[in-house]
Chain A
């Protein structure tokens, strides 16, 4: 039972508590560059999730074989392998998607979430928790990208998942699909989350103060 709970914690870690985008602020390059639409965001997120999960699983399996002295080279080769797998697979699924994501598929190899997870987690943990943690992190990254991409598409194109929302008279906010739009929306979400966190903290402090006063 305790293994089940700890495995669930491993999975939830990246999804919320240690969300790569909104908490750890990692992988900012694709976060700002490809989130012009919800579909691009989900595709990029799932591609990264696959690379993260598969590379962490393989690294965890090979963790006793990989000597410490050559671990970075080994991790990068393994990560680059799965990026290549994703690169060919997306080309086979849809060339339009491949063109939309451009060089950012290949740049997954340089995403710091991947090497960070490999070094800090997968290289020290057995395959099951390593894979669950990586999968949760990947999904957390996907959700973060979708939160940004959805808002940018709604305001920048008046659509969500390609479906028009506001009718023919909507004037798109072009800035939202340009690079500054990525910064604006990311900042908006960060303000919202830090506001929620501060509010929660204030409530906890108020409750503690109340308990202290009663005692």
Chain B
């Protein structure tokens, strides 16, 4: 290692050389792993979609924009758009829609994927994409039978003008669910249960008014 009287040029030259070496390594690894990373992300998402929409054979990604819906490319969604996935059976018939909702839980964001049945206007399934809730407490949302049962037919019907949800999805205290648009919380894991309800409500309230008027575009696989 050099000692005294190092000129500024030498310092900049040394730092520049290190930056060059490091830059080449980073860009090389980024390029080299990009395809595998994207493929992994797609596999993880498909697995979640097939879990919430069992029986689906193929999936097509779409972006819901304020003016309508359009097939999504490989790139990121345009700003303001909501990405959703139309799932089709073996004959190419629309089975349902899957979309993501997210809200702050006890420890971190709880990201869920829900399945929507456009014919009945209900949510028919729930999967968790990521969460870091307390083991044994918050993570009961994955296994609690009563909680999962909330999402067999959760009402998310729109008003007649299709501008908003007729009733906001709301998480209620355990044992007090009275309406089909309410989510019965898990006793002792209220914060996580509320995060799930809120995440679905926020996502459905924006997505469904954009999606439902154009649902005929998705009826058969393009």
Task: Report A's interface with B, CB cutoff 8 A.
Answer: 36, 58, 62-71, 73-74, 77-78, 80-82, 84-85, 88-89, 91-96, 99, 102, 123-124, 156, 172, 174, 177-178
Give the dominant DSSP class at B's interface. helix
Closest to B24 in A: A81
Contact in complex: A85, B3 (CB < 8 Å): no
Report if B216 contacts A (CB, 8 A).
no
From A64, A80, A88, give the contact of B29 (CB < 8 A). Answer: A88
Scan residues 127-157 of chain B and give those whose CB is less than 8 A from a CB of chain A.
130, 132, 134-137
Shortest Cβ gap from B213 to chain A (Å): 35
The CA-CA distance from A31 to B29 in the complex, in Å, is 27
Complex interface: chain B residues within 8 A of A63 (CB): 1
Residue B215, interface by CB 8 Å? no
B178 CB within 8 Å of chain A: no
Contact A77 B44 (CB under 8 A): no
**Given A66-B1, A68-B2, A69-B6, A172:B30 Cβ within 8 A:** no
B44 — which chain A residues lie within 8 A by C-beta? 95-96
User: Are the C-beta atoms of B135 and A78 separated by less than 8 Å?
Assistant: no
1/0 per residue B22-64: CB within 8 Å of A?
A: 1001100110010011001100100000000000000000000
- CA A172 – CA B136 in complex, angstroms? 9
* Neighbour of A67 across the interface among B10, B29, B30, B135, CB < 8 A: B10
Q: Name the prevailing secondary structure of the A interface residues.
A: helix
Specify the chain A residue showing the minimal Cβ separation from B39: A92
With an 8 A cutoff between CB atoms, is B11 at the interface?
yes
List B residues at the A interface (Cβ < 8 Å): 1-3, 6, 10-11, 14-15, 17-19, 21-22, 25-26, 29-30, 33, 36-37, 40-41, 44, 130, 132, 134-137
Alpha-carbon distance A39/B17, docked complex (angstroms):
38
A177 to B10, CA, bound (A): 51
Residues of the B chain whose Cβ atoms lie less than 8 Å from the Cβ of A81: 22, 25-26
Which chain B positions have C-beta within 8 A of A92?
A: 33, 36-37, 40
Asked if A70 and B15 make an inter-chain contact with CB atoms under 8 angstroms apart, the answer reads yes
In the bound complex, residues from chain A placing their C-beta under 8 Å from that of B33 are 88-89, 91-92
Q: A85-B26, A178-B135 are in contact. Are A77 and B18 (CB under 8 A)?
A: yes
Is A74 within 8 A of B15, CB to CB? yes
Measured between beta carbons, the chain A residues less than 8 angstroms from B135 are 36, 156, 174, 177-178
- Complex: A77 Cα to B40 Cα, angstroms: 28
Flag if B22 contacts A68 (CB, 8 Å): no
Alpha-carbon separation in the docked complex, A174 to B134 (Å)? 9
A35 to B166 alpha-carbon distance, docked (Å): 46
Cα of A168 to Cα of B41 in the assembled complex, Å: 34
A80 to B33, CA, bound (A): 17
Q: A62-B18, A65-B17 are in contact. Are A88 and B134 (CB under 8 A)?
A: no
Nearest-Cβ distance from residue A186 to partner chain B, whole angstroms: 19
B73 to chain A: closest CB distance in Å?
21
Q: In the bound complex, how far is the Cα of B33 from the Cα of A88, in angstroms? A: 6
CB distance from A65 to the nearest CB of B (A): 6
**Is A71's CB under 8 angstroms from B29's CB?**
no
In the docked arrangement, what's the CA distance between A58 and B19, Å? 13
CB closest chain-B residue, reference A63? B1
